[in-house]
């Protein structure tokens, strides 16, 4: 066998472990050609790839036709991480379902979510989140977890998996061994402490029918020189993980979380892989990843590697590779179309939580003060759907809406809304004056209610829902988002 042939076979074996992302709503001719030439294990779709049900269904069908056996995967947990929202709607956040603690409702919510995804042509959902929110101010898990107690999380992870499986989807629980105890976000940087996590929710998910586990780029041991060893790069750790999670078979498929995450930068350098760019932290451009970066992850024992783009440097398009015939006539724009109205299970979850957390908050004669920290967040602004739907709904509940932070010396009045996907920075509340009593609603990170209660004092009633979306704002009254 020539060196060139051997190299091609090694590259093909590497490609067979990849799940890649695409640039836009229609693959470019170059992307079609790469898919046809390298035949990856799957494609992962993001919000940038989807405009509505018709477009998403067409895209999924053509991708699966271009590469027989291709899996189409999505991060569509619900709440802030719902990449298929334009085509499948936005399910309630996991923390909201955990707060209601009705396992049958959780199963029903995920059954409906799974049916919508399966109807589009999606084959695997990357969820539910099995992390336990051990660190209350964790910046990346937050309301994506079902709660802060292992038993509660296990109960709802199992229910969620049953719902997805009943809809016909393959299921990948995440992020082993548990990202909920960290103080940092592995998308950006390496966690400074070793992570142990909690196995109970993962075991519950596998017992309910999940066949795969997403492994986070989290430090689980120290090397000979005291350097952190990541779960995704430690072959002995991954072998032990498969044995620990094995239920009488070979163990679950292990899927490496997005391999462009900043947490991998330092460990890859320590392993002898040259830096792919001049940056010290943050996400790596998929196009510049070297093949050695991908091989280390594969050889450690990760069966699939998620990557948010195509690794053009690691696996270049073969010279003379023909464009896929499916490119022809597939570039016609599809008008954005909206999914059907939220199903009964979703509406019930939202209405029950709102009534418990925020009953009596709306006041048509009052001004609401709105502190919004979602602008620019990668999980999307509260008004991310456009047309100011969130602000319009809020305006229908109050006489006036005042944005906190505007040049206005007045104290915050008796009605307050705070929207934030992340914990509140301490400086946000410092020096702000508030009325002696009132009613506040927090939407987003689970830590918000504690921070606001401490700041506002005993005269305030503070309730919380766990998503920053118009569908979760007073869902039991007023017009639906589709009709605003």
- In the block, tokens 């602000």 appear at 391
Backbone angles phi, psi at 292, to 5 degrees: -60, -35
Alpha helices by DSSP H, 368-460: 389-397, 426-429, 448-456
d(CA 289, CA 459): 55
pLDDT band at 83 (very low <50, low <70, confident <90, very high): very high
What is the per-residue pLDDT across 404-462, written as a single tens digit (0 to 9) for each? 875 555 679 999 999 999 999 888 888 888 999 999 999 999 999 999 999 999 999 99
Which range, of 84-88, 131-135, 184-188, 224-228, averages the lowest pLDDT?
Answer: 184-188
d(CA 449, CA 183): 19
Per-residue pLDDT at 2: 44
What is the per-residue pLDDT across 358-398, written as a single tens digit (0 to 9) for each? 989 999 999 999 999 998 898 999 976 556 889 999 999 99
Q: What is the mean pLDDT of residues 150-156?
A: 98
- Are the C-beta atoms of 164 and 172 separated by less than 8 Å? no
Per-residue pLDDT at 248: 63
Task: Take residue 381 and report the two structure tokens written for it.
Answer: 């602004």
Per-residue pLDDT at 3: 40
Better-scored residue on pLDDT, 179 or 122 = 122
Per-residue pLDDT at 364: 96
CA distances from 41 to 71, 176, 255, 305, 422 (A): 6, 21, 12, 9, 33
d(CA 337, CA 219): 43
**Among 286, 302, 444, 463, which Cα is nearest to 380's?**
444
- The highest-level CATH class for domain 3-320 is alpha beta
Query: What 3-state class would DSSP assign to 43?
Result: strand
pLDDT band at 483 (very low <50, low <70, confident <90, very high): very low
**Among 386, 461, 397, 449, which Cα is nearest to 419's?**
449
What is the per-residue pLDDT across 278-310, written as a single tens digit (0 to 9) for each? 888 888 999 999 999 999 999 999 999 999 999
Per-residue pLDDT at 139: 86
What is the per-residue pLDDT across 14-28, written as a single tens digit (0 to 9) for each? 999 999 999 999 999
Per-residue pLDDT at 329: 46
Q: What pTM does this model have?
A: 0.92
Q: Name 430's Cβ contacts closer than 8 Å, sequence gap at least 6.
A: none
Q: Reply yes or no on whether the pLDDT at 482 is more than 50.
A: no
What is the per-residue pLDDT across 312-355, written as a single tens digit (0 to 9) for each? 999 999 887 776 655 544 544 455 677 778 899 999 999 999 99
**Among 152, 161, 159, which Cα is nearest to 127's?**
161
Better-scored residue on pLDDT, 160 or 427 = 160
pLDDT band at 106 (very low <50, low <70, confident <90, very high): very high
Q: Name 84's Cβ contacts closer than 8 Å, sequence gap at least 6.
A: 45, 47, 50, 56, 74, 76, 116, 117, 120, 122
d(CA 397, CA 223): 57
To the nearest whole number, what is the mean pLDDT of the chain? Answer: 89
What is the per-residue pLDDT across 58-70, written as a single tens digit (0 to 9) for each? 999 999 999 999 9
Domain ranges of the chain: 3-320, 344-483
Q: Reply yes or no on whether the pLDDT at 123 is more than 90.
A: yes
């Amino acid at each position: 066998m020539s060196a060139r042939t051997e190299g091609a076979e090694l590259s093909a074996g590497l490609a067979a472990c990849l799940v890649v992302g695409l640039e836009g709503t229609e693959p470019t001719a170059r992307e079609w050609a790469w898919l046809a030439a390298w035949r990856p294990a799957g494609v992962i779709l993001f919000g940038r790839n989807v405009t509505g049900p018709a477009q998403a269904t067409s895209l999924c069908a053509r991708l699966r036709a271009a590469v027989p056996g291709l899996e189409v995967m999505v991060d569509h947990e619900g709440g802030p991480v719902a990449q298929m929202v334009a085509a499948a709607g936005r399910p309630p956040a996991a923390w909201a379902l955990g707060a209601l603690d009705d396992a049958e409702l959780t199963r029903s919510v995920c059954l409906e979510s799974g049916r919508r995804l399966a109807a589009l042509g999606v084959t695997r959902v990357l969820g539910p989140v099995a992390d336990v929110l051990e660190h209350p101010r964790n910046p990346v898990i937050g309301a994506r977890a079902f709660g802060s107690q292992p038993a509660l999380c296990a109960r709802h992870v199992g229910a969620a998996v049953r719902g997805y499986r009943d809809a016909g989807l393959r299921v990948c629980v995440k992020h082993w061994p548990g990202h909920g105890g960290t103080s940092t976000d592995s998308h950006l940087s390496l966690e400074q402490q070793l992570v142990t996590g909690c196995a109970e929710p993962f075991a519950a998910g596998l017992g309910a029918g999940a066949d795969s586990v997403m492994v986070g780029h989290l430090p689980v041991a120290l090397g000979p020189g005291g350097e952190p060893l990541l779960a995704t790069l430690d072959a002995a750790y991954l072998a032990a993980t498969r044995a620990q999670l094995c239920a009488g078979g070979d163990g679950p498929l292990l899927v490496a979380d997005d391999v462009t995450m900043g947490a991998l930068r330092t460990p890859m350098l320590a392993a002898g892989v040259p830096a792919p760019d001049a940056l010290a932290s943050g996400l790596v451009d998929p196009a510049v990843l070297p093949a050695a970066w991908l091989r280390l992850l594969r050889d450690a024992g990760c069966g699939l590697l998620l990557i948010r783009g195509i690794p053009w440097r690691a696996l270049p398009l073969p010279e003379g590779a023909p464009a896929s015939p499916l490119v022809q006539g597939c570039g016609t724009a599809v008008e954005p179309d909206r999914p059907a109205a939220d199903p009964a299970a979703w509406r019930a979850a939202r209405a029950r939580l709102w009534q418990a957390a925020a009953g009596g908050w709306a006041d048509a004669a009052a001004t609401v003060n709105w502190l919004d920290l979602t602008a620019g967040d990668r999980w999307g602004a509260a008004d991310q759907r456009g047309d100011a739907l969130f602000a319009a709904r809020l305006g229908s509940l109050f006489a006036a809406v005042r944005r906190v932070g505007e040049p206005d010396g007045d104290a915050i009045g008796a009605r307050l809304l705070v929207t934030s996907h992340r914990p509140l920075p301490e400086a946000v509340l410092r020096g702000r004056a508030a009325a002696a009593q009132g009613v506040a609603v927090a939407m987003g990170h689970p830590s918000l209610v504690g921070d606001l209660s401490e700041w506002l004092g005993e005269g305030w009633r503070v309730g919380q829902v766990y998503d920053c979306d118009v569908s979760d704002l007073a869902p039991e009254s007023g017009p639906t988002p589709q009709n605003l």
